[in-house]
Amino acid sequence: MFMRNRRVLGAFIIGALAAGSIASVANTQPVSVVKACADKRTQALFISPNGTCPSTRTLVEIGGNAMNTKAISSLVTPSVVSISVTAASGSGTGSGSIYKTAATASYIITNNHVVESAANTGTIEVELNNGDIYPAVIIGRNLDYDLAVISIKKGNLPEIPKGDSSSVAIGDVVIAFGSPLGLSGTVTSGIVSALNRPVTTGSTNAESYMDAIQTDAAINPGNSGGPLVDSQGRIVGVNSAIATLGSSFSATGSIGLGFSIPFNQAQRISDELIATGKSTKPILGVSFDPTYTGVGARVYLVTPGKAAEKAGITVGLIVKKIDGFKINDAIAAIVRIRSHAPGDQVTIVVESSAGSAKTYTITLDSAPALP
């Protein structure tokens, strides 16, 4: 089981175990139901005038703005995979989504922590929804965002429908897919509980930062890397971590606090990894004081020649807001910066030790992401 401790909301668990196959869903009622056929290979939708479909397509019901959970499950499940990793440090399982497919190969998005133990030695296997198993190789990893892309030599597979995580709102219905505790094909539903939740996982100097989507859809070890989809079956997040009550409590599974990496971030990074095997992250060009206990993030180092220095930010200033978001601490500041792409402009409000405030508009620099 891959596990890591958390700094926010108690303990966050990321990773997996091993077991069998089950699925459970809850229904949401669509508006103005239309019957359609989802192609089993391409997932393209075709209106069904008579409410029937050929054997190569699955009948689904589409509402005016949403599908019911059964239809979403039929549409998405063929694009979700189970991932098994065996390495010198142990074995574990996780989940992934078929992101891109070609004639002879397919690319799968998952979490870095699912596959990192096999980065140098070890093996990775991918089990498709139909039970077929293929060896996989790592195309690239991004520790900073806890993302990875792996590939298998099997083409023409159903790609996960793509969504826009920037359009997600609190209260939206979402559904999580994956293999919690190794139980492949599991489907759970809930809502978006919060947005822009600063979450960090990992160890010192090897941390991943998430501008997370928080959901109460049941997520457990093994869901890591699987998709969080919206009410139209489109991926809006990559499930990555859960909060637990900590070691003083006996409960270690889902308590209704799950966290997903926004898909727009995952898509940018995945495209870079597929193209070059490497990816980037945005940087402001400062380091924050880890000993500062006040509200905000205090600058204690400014990198020469980078965006912050060019804008006039100096050591000792305290970052209070980024793009209108209140900054409570250094983690919140890093997460807010990481929510952008290199080259984006951000608006930063800082406060001096004397209490005077100043606003800067800064274009973020680019840096290679770990590893």
CA nearest 261: which of 207, 201, 212? 212
Based on the domain organization, do 138 and 262 belong to the same domain? yes
Our count of domains for the chain comes to: 2
Contact between 166 and 142 under an 8 Å Cβ cutoff? The reply is no
Is residue 302 in a domain?
yes
CATH number at residue 115: 2.40.10.120
Is residue 112 in a domain?
yes
CATH number at residue 316: 2.30.42.10
Based on the domain organization, do 334 and 205 belong to the same domain? no
Contact between 219 and 255 under an 8 Å Cβ cutoff? The reply is no
Tokens of 187: 């489907």
Is residue 256 in a domain?
yes
Based on the domain organization, do 174 and 311 belong to the same domain? no
Based on the domain organization, do 274 and 296 belong to the same domain? no
Domain boundary residue, one of 278, 295, 319: 278
Based on the domain organization, do 146 and 242 belong to the same domain? yes
Is residue 110 in a domain?
yes
Contact between 343 and 363 under an 8 Å Cβ cutoff? The reply is yes
Tokens of 85: 């990793």
Based on the domain organization, do 237 and 361 belong to the same domain? no
Contact between 69 and 189 under an 8 Å Cβ cutoff? The reply is yes
Distance CA 82, CA 355 (A): 53
Is residue 141 in a domain?
yes
Domain boundary residue, one of 262, 278, 294: 278
Domain boundary residue, one of 278, 297, 323: 278
Which conformational region is residue 156 in: left (phi greater than 0), alpha (psi within -120 to 50 degrees), or beta? left
Distance CA 93, CA 84 (A): 4
Based on the domain organization, do 208 and 70 belong to the same domain? yes
Which residues belong to the active site?
Answer: 113, 146, 224
Contact between 112 and 146 under an 8 Å Cβ cutoff? The reply is yes
DSSP structural state of residue 82: E
Tokens of 292: 């500062």
Instruction: Write out the residue range of the structural domain in which residue 322 sits.
Output: 280-368
Q: What is the pLDDT along the chain (371 residues), one digit of tens a residue?
A: 343 333 333 344 444 343 332 233 333 333 455 677 777 776 666 767 788 888 888 777 665 555 678 888 888 999 999 999 999 988 899 999 999 999 999 999 999 999 999 999 999 999 999 999 999 999 999 999 999 999 999 999 999 999 999 999 999 999 999 988 888 889 999 999 999 999 988 655 678 999 999 999 988 888 999 999 999 899 999 999 887 655 544 455 556 689 999 999 999 999 999 999 999 999 999 999 999 999 999 999 999 999 999 999 999 999 999 999 999 999 999 999 999 999 999 999 999 989 999 999 999 999 999 88
Is residue 157 in a domain?
yes
Based on the domain organization, do 155 and 187 belong to the same domain? yes
Based on the domain organization, do 215 and 320 belong to the same domain? no
Based on the domain organization, do 242 and 142 belong to the same domain? yes
Beta strand spans in 28-118 (E): 34-39, 45-47, 57-62, 80-87, 90-101, 106-110
Is residue 197 in a domain?
yes
Based on the domain organization, do 263 and 294 belong to the same domain? no
Q: Quote the Cα angle for 265-224-323, to 5°.
A: 30
How much is the pLDDT for 348?
Answer: 98
Based on the domain organization, do 183 and 71 belong to the same domain? yes
What three-state secondary structure class fits 300? strand
DSSP structural state of residue 296: S
Is residue 49 in a domain?
no
